[in-house]
Amino acid sequence: MRFTLNGAPAEVDAHPMARLLDVLREQCGLTGTKEGCGEGECGACTVLVAGEAVCSCLVPFAQVEDSEVVTIEGLGGEHPLQRAFAALGGAQCGICTPGMIMTAMTLGPEPGIDEVRTKLAGNLCRCTGYEAIYRAVLDATRAEAAA
C-alpha cells in the first residue's frame, strides 16, 4: 500500500487492520512514535495524518492509503518545537514528548496559553511537566512568528 511518509513516497506491505502505530514502529523503523495506553487516552502515539493530529494506535493502516503521514522523525531534529522542548525542560522522561510536539504542530500561529492547554489536553505527561511543556510550546511558536 502506498502513502506519503515524512514527505517521501512509501510503499509498505502490512495487514489492512494493522495499527498505524505498529506499521510505523516495526515496519518503517520509526520508533520515535511511542505507545502509551493503546486506547486513545494518552496521546503518546500522536502523528499527523493529512495534517490532523490522530492517535496512531487507533488508526487502521488501510485508512492512510494515499494519505500524508508525518511522524516526529519528519521534523528532522532541529525544528523550533524540538529545540524549545530540549532547551526549556519540556522533556523529562521523554515518552510523551513526540506526541506533545506532533499535537503542538497543529496549533495556529501565536497561540495563547488557553489554546495551548486545550489543544494539548489529549496528551498526558506522567512526569507532570506541563508548565515547562507549555513554556516550550509558547516559546517556539513565538519564535516562529518572529522569524
Partner 1 sequence: MRTAVSALDLRKPSSVDEALAMLRDDGPRVPMAGCTDVYVSLNFGTLTSARFLDIWGLSELRGIEEADGGLRIGALTTHAELWRSPLVLSRLPILAAACREVGGIQIQNRGTLAGNVANGSPAGDTLPVLAVADAVVVLRSADGERRVPFNGFYTGYRATVMRPDELIVAIEIPPVPDAQWFRKVGTRAAQAISKVVMAAVRSETPRVALGSVAATVVRLPQTEAALAAGAGIEEAQRVLMEEVTPIDDIRSTADYRRRVCANLLARWWDSSPMKLAS
Tell me which residues in 51-80 interact with partner 1 (CB under 8 A).
52-55, 57-60, 62-63
Q: How far is the CB of 94 from partner 1 (least distance, A)?
A: 19
Q: CA distances (Å), 97 to each of 13, 15, 24, in order?
A: 29, 28, 17
User: Which of these segments, 25-33, 48-56, 86-94, 132-140, binds partner 1 (CB under 8 A)?
Assistant: 48-56
In whole angstroms, what is the distance from residue 79 CA to residue 56 CA? 22
19 binds partner 1 (CB under 8 A): yes
Do residues 95 and 32 make contact, with C-beta atoms less than 8 angstroms apart?
no
* C-alpha span between 59 and 47 (Å, rounded): 10
- Chosen residue from 4, 10, 12, 40 binding partner 1 by CB under 8 A: 40
Return the C-alpha torsion angle 31, 106, 93, 73, nearest 10.
30
- What grid cell was written down for 102? 506532533
Q: Which of 12, 18, 73, 115 binds partner 1 (CB under 8 A)?
A: 18
Q: Which stretch binds partner 1 (CB under 8 A): 40-48, 69-77, 83-91, 137-145?
A: 40-48
Instruction: Give the angle 117-54-95 at the CA atoms, nearest 5°.
Output: 65
**119 near partner 1, rule: CB under 8 A:** yes
Is 104 a binder of partner 1 (CB under 8 A)? no
Stretch that binds partner 1, among 4-12, 26-34, 87-95, 116-124 (CB under 8 A): 116-124
- Among candidate residues 117, 79, 118, 69, the one with its CA nearest the CA of residue 101: 79
The binding site for partner 1 (CB under 8 A) comprises 15-19, 38-41, 43, 46, 52-55, 57-60, 62-63, 103, 106, 118-119, 121-124
